[in-house]
Amino acid sequence: MKTDTPATILAAQENAAPRARPWKAAIALVLLAALIALPLFSKNFFVFQLTLAMVYAIAILGLNLLTGFNGQFSLGHGAFYAIGAYTAAILMDQAGVSYVWVIPAAGVVCFVAGFLFGLPALRLEGTYLALATFALAVAMPQILKFSPFEHWTGGVQGIVIMKPDAPFGLPVNQDQWLYYFTLFTLILMFVFAYNLVGSRTGRAMKAIRDNPTAAKAMGVNLSLYKSLTFGVSALYTGVAGALSAIVVQFVAPDSFTFALSVILFVGLVVGGVGWIPGALFGALFILFVPHLAEGVSKGLAGAVYGIMLILLIFVMPSGAAGLLRLLFDRFTIVRRLFEGSSGRKR
């Protein structure tokens, strides 16, 4: 894999620019304030859509940790999303567990699943790993429909779930409450991701991505870190899946076909591989652009979507991350504002 991704360059800038931090913090705060205020002034349907977008963002973030920061190519994250969703659904429906606790539960289950999958996958590289993960995603609906499991999974009929009400009698409706709940989870996951990526573990992950042989030579335990990353990545996507089960209020095998894995992957690339905030861009793209495409042409919605995707890649080959990097490089004003890349030459 190429080492000179926009992410590494952005990261280098970050590491070299402590003075840039206050600006970034300011932007983050403004964004946060906007996100908190939004549902109070929007229609329920829009709030619902944004909640879904946040859910996708968490899932894409999970995929990013694996592919963007650890270099393991996965086309099967839909499977972990499904496992998370079904864990949540089964716990809520059959064991009456509260929605608050199913999220971490789904996370744990998926972490284990991801770790276990990551172990044998250690031997596979690039396209071969892609196939293995793809196979998992393709097989998932069939596994979910499997008759002996029907008692728990509801088989092809799926499981219907109740939406929770706001607790403590807060003056928000169900959609708004779910929005805030998801927002809170999103922030948590993002903070954790930032910490992970900046820590020793994160450096090990990135080292493995950039040059596995060198990493190994320097004493990084490849097997451990690769499997761990798989587990964490699955955990993120599983949490997203669990949230989606609550937001959509329904799980069924048809909700988790391989098309989902493909969409998450598209979201990853559009947002920018190896750039954490990219998950938000990617999520917004995969949620809203299909509606746009449908608006343009009913019969050729798919073609319009595909063409938009191609144009996007033409304009921003490295996703939103690449676009930002371009702005950094091209516009002195922006660069000065961020005052971080002094001395870094193109």
Which residues between 194 and 223 bind another protein (CB under 8 A)? 211, 213-214
With binding defined as CB under 8 A, does residue 89 bind another protein?
A: no
Specify the residue, 106 or 130, whose C-beta has the smaller distance to another protein.
Answer: 130
Q: Are 256 and 78 in contact (CB under 8 A)?
A: yes
Specify the residue, 201 or 257, whose C-beta has the smaller distance to another protein.
Answer: 257
Cα 187 to Cα 32, 199, 215, 235, 270: the distances in Å are 9, 18, 31, 15, 21
Element (H, E) at 159: strand 159-160
DSSP 73-133: --S-HHHHHHHHHHHHHHHHHHS---HHHHHHHHHHHHHHHHHHHHHHHTT--HHHHHHHH
With binding defined as CB under 8 A, does residue 13 bind another protein?
A: no
- Per-residue binding string, another protein, 19-48, x by CB under 8 A, is ------------------------xxx--x
Pick from 233, 234, 204, 231: nearest CA to 220: 204
Cβ partners under 8 Å of residue 343, min gap 6? none
Stretch 229-248 residues interacting with another protein (CB under 8 A) = 244, 248
Pick from 24, 46, 39, 3: nearest CA to 288: 46
With binding defined as CB under 8 A, does residue 67 bind another protein?
A: yes
Stretch 291-310 residues interacting with another protein (CB under 8 A) = 291, 294, 298-303, 305-307, 309-310
Q: How far is the CB of 21 from another protein (least distance, A)?
A: 28
Q: The tokens 């031997």 sit on which residue?
A: 123
Q: How far is the CB of 151 from another protein (least distance, A)?
A: 15
Q: How far is the CB of 250 from another protein (least distance, A)?
A: 4
Question: Residue 340 has which token pair?
Answer: 């971080």
Stretch 147-186 residues interacting with another protein (CB under 8 A) = 147, 155-158, 160
How long a stretch of residues is the chain?
A: 346
Specify the residue, 213 or 332, whose C-beta has the smaller distance to another protein.
Answer: 213
Stretch 96-135 residues interacting with another protein (CB under 8 A) = 120, 123-125, 127-128, 130-132, 134-135
Q: How far is the CB of 294 from another protein (least distance, A)?
A: 6
Specify the residue, 273 or 340, whose C-beta has the smaller distance to another protein.
Answer: 273
Q: Are 115 and 230 in contact (CB under 8 A)?
A: yes
Stretch 271-290 residues interacting with another protein (CB under 8 A) = 273
With binding defined as CB under 8 A, does residue 268 bind another protein?
A: yes
What 3-state DSSP class applies to 250?
strand
With binding defined as CB under 8 A, does residue 74 bind another protein?
A: no
